[in-house]
Homo-oligomer: A and B are copies of this chain.
Amino acid sequence: MKAVVVQQGETEPTVVEIDEPTPDPGEALLRTLRVGIDGTDHEVIEGNHGGFPDGDDYQVLGHEAVAVVADANGTDLNEGQLVVPTVRRPREEGNEYFERGEPDMAPDGQYVERGIVGAHGYMAEYFTSAPRYLVPVPDAFAESGFLVEPISNTEKALEHAHATRSAFEWTPETGLVLGNGPLGLLTLAMLEGGRTDFSRTYCLGRRDRPDPTIDIIERLGATYVDSRETPVSVISEVHEPMDFVYEATGYAKHAFETVHALRSNGVGALLGIPEDWTFEIDGGALHRELVLQNKALFGSVNSNVRHYEAAIDSLSAFPDWLVDDLVTGVHEPAAAPAAFETNDETIKTVVEFDTV
């Protein structure tokens, strides 16, 4: 079968022929429909993140997938059922975090991540998985279901944001998303009409008009903030202080500038994964502002089945045009490397292995 992989020593994806996998007892065989590409895939290809499965000199890419149960193989799945696979798998059976349904909170070293670190991903015609790592999705999700995984990461961040502020009455009105990549735009759509009803939302980017991401931002009812004119550090003065800031840029200074962008009692969620970078901050002012204004900052990575289930609801509630406008490229497996190329018109690209 065709698979899109990165090979040892290379920093470009290639399409290879590998054997179709055989499900172990307790595993099902899944026929892949679509696999989305995100920044993590680029980092995996460039060797900045993750690591190959033990003993292999290549890694099948892809962690944002939607698939169909091809062979239930004795599990209680229904053949033909649409599913979205989760990403993390335990390194050893009996891991307490996985056992209690919180693989997203497992410390580094206790898990592999399919398509990212230590395990093959989903960018192939078929893959296998135990049913507990597959989340059933509606039949209508054959084309859009690959978005459940990225959305689930924001579901987790939103859940943690609310938890962080749950010791007092917190009614957020203003939300700022840092980053106008696919995850930023999906998150913005969630803040605009999601379970948390933000009255006013903002999205930071660094693009000139006309630009398809700015079009989406404005069509969602949010305000576009050009970071070249209005850096994060002045947003609270130029626009207004934010009850919630969601960082999806991986730009390390944003983590610290977020503190000042927040209103009193606000919370910032960090999701980007920057490289080392030493720079100066006014740490005294930041520390003081956190304390005197009861502000909070947390990091969030990955998600669990509960967040996938919430993501299904969020994706179902999105306006019809959103997924169409987000998905700027659908590529055949043979042309998969083209799906990794980006230009000013690229927002989200997918590799489509099959349709229902």
Distance in Å: Cβ of A178 to nearest Cβ of chain B: 12
Which B residues are CB-close (under 8 A) to A164?
160, 163-164, 296, 298
Copies in the complex: 2
Q: CB-defined interface of A146-161 with B at 8 Å, one 1/0 digit per residue?
A: 0000000000100110
Residues of A contacting B: mostly: mixed
Once the chains bind, are A108 and B273 in contact (CB under 8 Å)? no
Residue of B nearest to A251 (CB): B287
Q: CB-defined interface of A286-300 with B at 8 Å, one 1/0 digit per residue?
A: 111111111111111
Among A107-157, those with CB < 8 Å from B are 107-108, 156
Once the chains bind, are B163 and A255 in contact (CB under 8 Å)? no
Say yes or no: is A264 at the interface (Cβ < 8 Å to chain B): yes
Q: A163-B163, A164-B163, A164-B298 are in contact. Are A284 and B277 (CB under 8 A)?
A: yes
Once the chains bind, are A279 and B287 in contact (CB under 8 Å)? no
Range for the number of chain A residues in contact with chain B: 35 or more
Once the chains bind, are A274 and B284 in contact (CB under 8 Å)? yes
- Bound Cα distance A159, B296 (Å): 14
Distance in Å: Cβ of A289 to nearest Cβ of chain B: 7
The 3 closest A-B pairs by CB, nearest first: A290-B299, A277-B284, A296-B298
Report 14 cross-chain contacts, Cβ distance below 8 Å, ordered by A residue: A104-B168, A162-B167, A163-B163, A163-B165, A252-B288, A274-B283, A274-B288, A275-B288, A279-B281, A281-B281, A292-B301, A294-B298, A294-B301, A295-B299
